[in-house]
Amino acid sequence: MPFVFDPPAPATLPVEGGTDLYPVRRIFCVGRNYAAHAAEMGQEVDRSAPFYFTKSPAALAPSGATLPYAPGTADWHHEMEFVAALGAPAFRTAPDRALATVWGYGAGLDMTRRDLQAAAKAKGRPWSLAKDHENSAVLGALRPAAEWTPGAQRIRLDVNGETRQDATLDTMVWSLAELIADLSHYYHLGAGDVIMTGTPAGVGPVRPGDRLEGHIDGLPPVAMQVGAPL
């Protein structure tokens, strides 16, 4: 093929318990999907509809790595999130059929340049600089959907061994099935599409040297160590 340079390797996620890789096509993220987190951000949940932003697959970082403190920010925040990875098409799909399109589940960190997000909000500008940056989507291994079903599992994040975020998945404002159904009215969703479903309360800044460990009951964990800025 006449590529003018070597195309990058596909972005992938590991699958629990083996060497298989899940190729990532797109990353959709949900805003304000836990009422207590919306409140800590000084916002109210809009119960008329969910809202979204996206991250490029180039924002992916493997779980367990030391990642340099992000450039261009003095307020890099952790957001612990429940993640679903689709394996089948969904377009104008009803909620009661939505979970059948999920290939697997995992845990992830939506790393956020909070100062840039606040500035963007104040000026009515997009969130891209705040949300879609290198190493901003730290995702753990996937567990196949046949082996796990979302319910009221605990979701929690520890920083240096101290719990900072702690909630249960049934407190999401919009369930995963509702999110897939809603998104499927705007996109032809399908295999390779990953959804980060929003963060519970307790977000906060990280510092070089911090060790983050996120757990969702029954799923592979997500972890990162914050390195020095580049």
Residue 79 or residue 182: which is nearer to Mn ion going by CB? 79
List CB contacts of 189: < 8 A, sequence separation 6 or more: 86, 89, 90, 91, 93, 101, 180, 183
**Alpha-carbon span 155 to 190, nearest angstrom:** 26
Interface mask toward Mn ion for 62-91; x: CB under 5 A: -----------------x------------
**Alpha-carbon span 196 to 176, nearest angstrom:** 10
Residue 110 or residue 213: which is nearer to Mn ion going by CB? 110
Least distance in Å: CB of 80 to Mn ion? 9
Give the CB-nearest residue to Mn ion.
110
User: Per CB under 5 A, does 132 bind Mn ion?
Assistant: no
List CB contacts of 161: < 8 A, sequence separation 6 or more: 211
Least distance in Å: CB of 29 to Mn ion? 5
Residue 77 or residue 215: which is nearer to Mn ion going by CB? 77
Least distance in Å: CB of 79 to Mn ion? 4
The b/e string for 127-160 (b: 16+ C-beta within 10 A; e otherwise) is beebbbbbbbbbbbbbbbbeebebeebebbbbbe
Least distance in Å: CB of 31 to Mn ion? 7
User: Per CB under 5 A, does 158 bind Mn ion?
Assistant: no
**Alpha-carbon span 136 to 48, nearest angstrom:** 28
Least distance in Å: CB of 147 to Mn ion? 25
Residue 25 or residue 52: which is nearer to Mn ion going by CB? 52
Alpha-carbon dihedral angle through residues 103, 104, 109, 111, given to the nearest 10 degrees = -10
Residue 15 or residue 27: which is nearer to Mn ion going by CB? 27
User: Per CB under 5 A, does 213 bind Mn ion?
Assistant: no
Stretch near Mn ion under the rule CB under 5 A, chosen from 61-69, 85-93, 180-188, 192-200? 192-200
Which helix (DSSP H) or strand (DSSP E) does residue 63 occupy?
Answer: none
**Alpha-carbon span 52 to 195, nearest angstrom:** 10
Residue 15 or residue 140: which is nearer to Mn ion going by CB? 140
Residue among 141, 137, 83, 139 nearest 111 (CA): 137
Amino acid at 14: P
Q: Which of 133, 199, 200, 224 binds Mn ion (CB under 5 A)?
A: 199
User: Per CB under 5 A, does 110 bind Mn ion?
Assistant: yes
Which residues contact Mn ion (rule: CB under 5 A)? 79, 110, 199
